[in-house]
Amino acid sequence: MQFYRTFKRPVAIGFDLDDTLYDNLPVLLTAEDELHKFLISNYPETALLSVKDWTNLRMQLVDQTPSLKSDFTTARLQALYIGFQVCGYSPEECKQGSQQALSHFLTWRNKVNITSDVHQLLSDLSQQFTLFVISNGNADITQCGLARYFDFAIRPSQTTPMKPAPDLFLQAQERLGLSGDDILYVGDHPVSDIVGSGRMGWQNAWLNSKDLPLDHYKKPLMLPTFEINKIEELALLIK
């Protein structure tokens, strides 16, 4: 641990999910591949569209409807519906096919690889702190096998913008009934996680697993309370 600001033992600890508790890129690549295979196998006309085509459809939809930027699940469902239309399916087939395809994708999207060390860490921390999740993604803590450690998990929607906007942090703080410095938030993203929680007056821990400099092309940054290179270092908080 490398400390940058004064640390106070928290009452509650919040976690990001993707790329904090597990490596998310392989999960998403596999989920996209399995989705594409499902589509071609069950709806052959969708072979007209490549994985890149489906991605472009989703990105175009988000550009046209900015509120979808904070709701990955709805954005994907609507893009799937449009893709089925492009491939010539009937409205009923579009509805049924997009819902089936989304369900298949989410099944694979939640097949994350969580190490035994991370499970042990969360189990130990949950004995001494209230644990919760704030994630911009659409991973589900129940399907991921993590629900037993956390009191609650919240994520953005079309009406609740994603981190670093304050909305999700405010929701969590109201549910916890704690002041800012009683909360520690842990995440890998220097803007979404560290700037977002820091603006709330929360303590925060930046997971810098790739030993990167603290900079980002989007926005000015702020120093975290402390920096860690491995999530397991949080075991030092246990007394």
Nearest to 1 by CA among 232, 239, 203: 232
Position 220 pLDDT exceeds 90: no
Whole-angstrom Cα distance, residue 79 to residue 58?
Answer: 5
Phi/psi of residue 2, nearest 5 degrees? -120, 115
Closest to 237 (Cα-Cα) out of 121, 153, 72 = 121
For 157-180, the pLDDT digits (tens) are: 999 999 999 999 999 999 999 999
Q: What share of the chain is helix, strand, coil (3-state, %, to 5)?
A: 50, 10, 40
Tokens coding 92: 């009923």
CATH assignment of 26-109, among 1.20.1440.230, 1.20.120.1600, 3.30.70.980, 3.40.640.10: 1.20.120.1600
Domain boundaries defined on the chain? 2-23+114-237, 26-109
The rounded percent of the chain whose pLDDT value lies above 90 is 93
Taking the domain 2-23+114-237, which CATH number applies? 3.40.50.1000
Output the pLDDT for position 73.
Answer: 95
In the chain, at which residue ranges do the beta strands (DSSP E only) sit? 2-3, 12-15, 130-134, 152-154, 183-187, 203-207, 226-228
* Residue carrying the six token digits 């087939």: 93
Tens-place pLDDT, residues 36-72: 999 999 999 999 999 999 999 999 999 999 989 999 9
CA distance 93 to 88: 10
- Residue 190 in contact with residue 99, Cβ under 8 Å? no
Residue 9 and residue 197: Cα distance in Å, rounded? 16
- What tokens appear for 129 in the block? 């702190």
First vs last C-alpha separation in the chain: 16
Fold match flag (2-23+114-237 vs 26-109): no
Q: How far apart are CA 169 and CA 173, in angstroms?
A: 6
Mean of pLDDT values over 192-200: 96
pLDDT of res. 184: 98
d(CA 59, CA 26): 20
Residue 150 in contact with residue 132, Cβ under 8 Å? Answer: yes
Q: What is the mean pLDDT of the chain?
A: 95
